[in-house]
Amino acid sequence: MQLNAQQVYLLFQRLGFGADYPTIKSNIGKTPEAIFYQYDAFDAPLQLSFEPIALSEMQSLSEEEKEALKKTARQGVIDLNLLWLEKMSASKAPFREKMALFWHGHFACEDKNPVFVQNYCNVLRKNAFGNFRDLVFYIAKDAAMLRYLNNQQNRKKQPNENFARELMELFTLGRGNYTEKDVQEAARAFTGWSFEPGTGDFIKRENLHDNNEKVFFDKHGNLDGDDIINTILDKKECAYFIAKKFLKYFLSEHPDPTLVSEYGAELFNNGYDMEKLTLKLISSEVFYREENRFQKIKSPVELIAQINRLIPLTYDQPKIQLAVQRGLGQILFHPPNVAGWKGGNNWIDSSTMTFRFYLPQFLWGTQIANFSSKESGDDNDPFQLSDLSQYKATPDWDAFAKNIAANDKIGIIREISEWFLGYPIDPQKISFFITASDKKSICQSVAERIIQLPEFQLS
Amino acid sequence: MSSRRIFIKKSVLASAGTWLVPQFLGGHSNAFNNKAHDNKLVVIQLSGGNDGLNTVIPYQNDIYYNSRPQIGIPKKEVLQLTDNGGLHPVMKHFEALFKVGDICIVNNVGYPNAERSHFRSMDIWHTASNANEYWQTGWLGRWLDSNCNSSNKSGSLLELDDSLSLTVKGEHIKGLACSNIEKLQKMTAFPFYKQIANQSLQGSPELQYMYKTMLETYQSAEYLQTQISKSLSKGSYPMNKFGQSLKTIGNLISSGIDTTVFYTSLSGFDTHANQQMRQSKLLETLDAGVGALISDLKSQNRWQNTTILIFSEFGRRVKENGSKGTDHGAANQAFICSGKLKKAGFYNALPSLLELEDGDIAQEIDFRQIYANILQDWLFCDHSEILQKSFTPTIIL
């Protein structure tokens, strides 16, 4: 299967964050598999110069030193947020970053310690197209997740069911495929699963672990967390649950049930190999079919990353991208709760739609757009922002215009819309609002108007 | 051009006063229904976890003063309401409300297995879920979704903010967020916005949904602008942001707007250090704003039809910390103000400071009992449908 221009566009749009013009053009005529491997190198891990601090040291610090450390930590999480966004916006492995973003919504989690956040994010990125079974094990032993779901409070004498419940309800099986009794028994098997406070390394605290007999589905005995995870993953329901979520994310909000069955069976039979599942999808005719197009509303982070890939932008204050994340309702490392972002139409309401419409003006324009972010009331909220509207990004429209072959207004509208949307729009839709006469200004104006269209919000 | 498109165009271009009231704000098919009720609900969220013990003060309780040697409010400064409970000294309007029976103070409000994370606890108040559940729609959003809303004259919901809280997002219908009507009106009346909002009704359901949202936002902004200009309100409100939000609410209610629920918040209550000055200022802002709104509504003859709910995501520790502040706690009081209360004054006894749970005030009333009361007796809905569980409603309204 050799891809035509529209199909290349779709592949980068859905599996990545869109692409610059030369990238689209240079991949026409290649197979999806060839393109996939070409853009799938694991980019270097997110690295901050943030030294882990041992809890023992923390206690010896003065109040001022503790405050200073907390401040550094908050800044660290913000820096990681922007670093990851930069990877999505510029890295040569966009598919991997997109898949990691999918996992971030699936294994939704946040933490105040940047070392833990960094580890968590790199697990998702490194294993994005790896084996789902491995990923569940990594996540179940990840410090940020263990803390987020209170597993350090899960002790033999006082089991805390939070982790065990979400493992089944949200991460693997889905509601209705387990009982309350299963939750209780699994929670006992995870007692004592914890982490080193400084490094975040996984430890099993044997003295807090319940070694008595547990009954979980058809297994019984002195089961440990590992046994629970393996038992869950041996169930077909898990593969179908993941396959459905995968299709919803990469194909359509409403995937056809027969397709879900097909992909569920594939994932189960291939032993949870996500790369194989992905290749199956992007090599299938259904991925490019007309009826499955333009049904996905881009998430706020996808939208920002895509704009960064389309327009050559320089940020004096990259933090302005946090204001957009906040205003549009998706902050990396700050999901609404463990269920992740709801997505779909839920991205859109009167306020976010207006913000999306004025996004070019907000980022680099001088117009009326001015959005203040909601106050959470939490003094330690790293993403609580003061008004950032004085900061602007600087687009390089000269560089942008060089990509465009056409010289007349109508030609430029056709060309840019084909690049931004995958098809040429009726020029009449926006031409009235393009009043510039030189090529560079026309290109700028056309690009801005197209970004404002509801069509641009879709992929 | 399809007839549907012509119809929409007409409705957008129609002159002021004949607007099709957008769904966000409660118009739609309701225009020809009988007026079931004209009740309004104003929800005020105190973000950050207001210290309830320094708001409603158990001024006869030694444990209170022993737990708070530095930040306890001296008995002689307390605005005494009963022989053991009183208000923070700045809350003079609340004191007046208490005297005329327009306020009900509900103590020890919370939920089982209290969460001490701001975000999570607010999430629980917003969605009305249990502490171990993660829901993705808000209780007022589900009220918007419910049949109850569409079969009544009572309309929908306005949040006085630039972005929308989870609490007002339903599965199908969401409220409108607007912090500044003039600004929103300008943004949506921009020629390119108007042109786009009036275009495509074709394409995928997602695309249509976005076009529809743009169009309705435009219509809503126009409608709000029209209503504001009709308002006869002469009330004077504090100039701060919160006061101005309440002014907008007061003006809209007195304009006879269809909107039923108004949501606004006051932030900054996370007083871990040097609490006294900060909380005092915030409570003063709250008191002055609410006082102004109520006197405005009274002068417009609307107070009988208005209920105000005031809550915070949690209360704070009984014991002060080492920085003249307080840390995150559990149960807290909630206030319900209305010109038509069934029960005024203290709904229940002040918190017991003897029987604490992990150093915090124990929950006695589930906040969803208050929601149930509001839904059932003020908005005339089946509360168990909207809260997805049945609760014993409080008997306040």
CB spacing of B207 vs A161 below 8 angstroms: no
Q: What are the structure tokens assigned to B22, written together?
A: 């957008």
Query: Distance (Å, rounded) from C-alpha B332 to C-alpha B36?
Result: 34
Predicted confidence (pLDDT) at residue A178 exceeds the cutoff of 70: yes
CB atoms within 10 A of CB A10: 21
CA-based nearest distance A374→chain B, Å: 7
Residue A370: the pLDDT is 57
List all residues 6 or more positions away from B50 whose beta carbon is below 8 Å from its beta carbon.
Answer: B269, B279, B282, B312, B315, B316, B332
Q: Within an 8 Å CB–CB cutoff, is residue B139 touching chain A?
A: no
Predicted confidence (pLDDT) at residue B13 exceeds the cutoff of 50: no
Predicted confidence (pLDDT) at residue B11 exceeds the cutoff of 50: no
Rounding to the nearest 10 degrees, give the CA dihedral for residues B33, B34, B37, B41: 20
Q: To the nearest whole percent, how much of chain B has pLDDT over 70?
A: 88
Query: Distance (Å, rounded) from C-alpha B284 to C-alpha A92?
Result: 55
Residue A366: the pLDDT is 66
CA-based nearest distance B68→chain A, Å: 21
Residue A372: the pLDDT is 63
Query: Distance (Å, rounded) from C-alpha A39 to C-alpha B280?
Result: 57
Residue A41: the pLDDT is 81
B303 residue type, one letter: W
Closest residue, chain B, to A353 (C-alpha) = B214
Query: Distance (Å, rounded) from C-alpha B69 to C-alpha A24?
Result: 69
- pLDDT tens digits for B331-349? 999 999 999 999 999 999 9
**CB contacts, 8 Å: B203 with chain A:** 294, 455
Name the 3-class secondary structure at B145: helix
- pLDDT tens digits for A196-252? 988 899 999 999 999 999 999 999 999 999 999 999 999 999 999 999 999 999 999
A335 residue type, one letter: P
- pLDDT tens digits for A325-357? 998 999 999 998 888 998 998 999 998 999 999
- Going from N- to C-terminal start, the domains of chain A cover 1-32, 300-457
Q: Within an 8 Å CB–CB cutoff, is residue A89 touching chain B?
A: no
Query: Distance (Å, rounded) from C-alpha A82 to C-alpha A427?
Result: 36
Q: Within an 8 Å CB–CB cutoff, is residue B112 touching chain A?
A: no
Residue B57: the pLDDT is 98
If you search the block for the tokens 């919000």, which residue do you land on? A457
Domains of chain B: 3-387 (3.40.720)
| Residue range A173-202: mean pLDDT, rounded | 94
Q: Within an 8 Å CB–CB cutoff, is residue A329 touching chain B?
A: yes
Q: Within an 8 Å CB–CB cutoff, is residue B203 touching chain A?
A: yes
> Using CB atoms, which residue from A165, A293, A433 is nearest to B192?
A433
CB spacing of B191 vs A433 below 8 angstroms: yes
- pLDDT tens digits for A244-294? 999 999 999 889 999 999 999 999 999 999 999 999 999 999 999 988 888
| Residue range B294-320: mean pLDDT, rounded | 96
Predicted confidence (pLDDT) at residue A11 exceeds the cutoff of 70: yes
CB spacing of B132 vs A165 below 8 angstroms: yes
Looking at residue A192, what DSSP letter applies?
T
| Residue range A72-95: mean pLDDT, rounded | 94
User: Given the DSSP bridges, would you call strands B56-57 and B86-87 parallel, antiparallel or unpaired?
Assistant: antiparallel
| Residue range A360-389: mean pLDDT, rounded | 69
Residue B301: the pLDDT is 94
Query: Distance (Å, rounded) from C-alpha B275 to C-alpha B143?
Result: 36
Q: Check if the beta carbon of residue B126 is closer than 8 Å to that of residue B159.
A: no
Confidence of residue A53 (pLDDT cuts 50, 70, 90): low
Confidence of residue A311 (pLDDT cuts 50, 70, 90): very high
Q: Within an 8 Å CB–CB cutoff, is residue B240 touching chain A?
A: no
Q: Check if the beta carbon of residue A266 is closer than 8 Å to that of residue A49.
A: no
Best probe of the B interface among A378, A421, A432, by most B CBs < 10 A, is: A378
Which residues of B, range 31-50, sit inside 8 Å of A by Cβ?
46-49
Q: What angle do CA A302, A303, A307 make, to 5 degrees?
A: 115
**CB contacts, 8 Å: A342 with chain B:** 136
Predicted confidence (pLDDT) at residue B327 exceeds the cutoff of 80: yes
> Using CB atoms, which residue from B46, B206, B217 is nearest to A458?
B206
Query: Distance (Å, rounded) from C-alpha B300 to C-alpha B294?
Result: 10
Looking at residue A137, what DSSP letter applies?
H
Query: Distance (Å, rounded) from C-alpha A244 to C-alpha A2?
Result: 27
User: Given the DSSP bridges, would you call strands B56-57 and B176-177 parallel, antiparallel or unpaired?
Assistant: unpaired
Predicted confidence (pLDDT) at residue B12 exceeds the cutoff of 50: no
Q: What are the structure tokens assigned to B238, written together?
A: 């504090």
Which residues of B, range 266-295, sit inside 8 Å of A by Cβ?
267-270, 272
**CB contacts, 8 Å: A370 with chain B:** 183
- pLDDT tens digits for B28-85? 444 333 346 889 999 999 999 999 999 999 999 999 999 999 999 999 999 999 999 9
Q: What is the mean pLDDT of chain A?
A: 92
Query: Distance (Å, rounded) from C-alpha A330 to C-alpha A300?
Result: 6
Task: Estimate to the nearest angstrom the gap between the alpha carbon of A340 and the chain centroid.
Answer: 10
> Using CB atoms, which residue from B165, B214, B265 is nearest to A454?
B214
